Amino acid sequence: MIKIAPSILSADFADLRREIQRIDTADYVHVDVMDGMFVPNITIGAPVVKSLRPTTSLPLDVHLMIQQPIRYVEQFCDAGADIVTCHVESDSEENIHEALRLIHAKGKKAGVVIKPKTPASAVLPFIHEVELILVMTVEPGFGGQKFMADMMPKVQQVRSYIDAMNPTCELEVDGGVDPETCKICIASGANVLVAGSSVYGAPDIAQRIAALRG
Ligand code: DX5
Ligand code: ZN
């Protein structure tokens, strides 16, 4: 089954309770956390996740685009995140292992993320420790960017690693996913699709979420 994770980065931040209720036919709520250092943009932090938690029964999929996420993963878990993902580029391999351990110690799901220039093989040191791997299909930092179709061989490669080594792990893609590009993502082996602008920009959100399922 294909899961859809709308990114609230494209929502109206002045009305997040309503914006989350508008995506209630989705599978996850994707929350983009940016620190202005790992990426050139600043978004939201753990206090906002805490306020959002009681507004939805959907799992909160928290994508940390921050340097040294080990410093903050426990705060996001305590705030109510269900899945917390860390970029492999954001700290030493040792500290990423430790961050994943801290997330699991809080009883939450943990994942790793790779940027467009990072090879598929960068997930291998973590593959037995994660419930989700996220392959970026844009440079992280902003919504509304153009889908990078040249990431599809990497998605296929990560799919083959998952099938061989950790078959229950989910494979997520993030960036530029719309009712056209979703098809090649699904064909390449992704099972969770993040979509920001194409969901919140749609005239009928429920219909758009259904369309993204392929
Ligand atoms: C980009 C974020 C994405 C972004 C996707 O750094 O990680 O989740 O919100 O937005 P769209 O779907 O508009 O590309
Ligand atoms: Zn994201």
pLDDT, tens only, 81-92: 999 999 999 999
> Which H, E and C letters describe the chain, residue by residue?
CCEEEEEHHHCCHHHHHHHHHCCCCCCCEEEEEEECCCCCCECCCHHHHHHHHHHCCCCEEEEEECCCHHHCHHHHHHHCCCEEEEEHHHCCHHHHHHHHHHHHHCCCEEEEEECCCCCHHHHHHHHHHCCEEEEECCCCCCCCCCCCHHHHHHHHHHHHHHHHHCCCCEEEEECCCCCCHHHHHHHCCCCEEEECHHHHCCCCHHHHHHHHCC
Work out the mean pLDDT of the chain and round it to a whole number: 98
Q: What is the pLDDT of residue 57?
A: 98
Q: Is the CB of 177 under 6 A from ligand 1?
A: yes
> Which residue in 32, 35, 61, 178 is the catalytic one?
32
Q: Is the CB of 197 under 6 A from ligand 1?
A: yes
Cα 133 to middle of ligand 2, angstroms: 12
For residue 11, the ligand closest to its alpha carbon is 1
Structure tokens at 5: 């994770």
Span 70-112, pLDDT tens digits: 999 999 999 999 999 999 999 999 999 999 999 999 999 999 9
Single pTM value for the model: 0.98
With beta carbons less than 8 A apart as the criterion, state whether 29 and 61 touch: yes
Cβ count near 71 (within 10 Å): 12
Of 86, 194, 199, the residue with max ligand 1 atoms within 8 A of its CB, to mutate for a pocket test, comes to: 194
Q: What is the pLDDT of residue 81?
A: 99
Mean pLDDT, residues 172-195 taken together: 98
Q: How far apart are CA 148 and CA 132, in angstroms?
A: 20
For residue 8, the ligand closest to its alpha carbon is 1
Is 174 among the catalytic positions? Answer: yes
Span 33-52, pLDDT tens digits: 999 999 999 999 999 999 99
Q: Whose CA is nearest to atom 7 of ligand 1?
A: 140
Structure tokens at 126: 């973590």
Is 178 among the catalytic positions? Answer: no
For 123, list phi and psi in degrees, rounded to 5. -85, -15
Q: Is the CB of 32 under 6 A from ligand 1?
A: yes
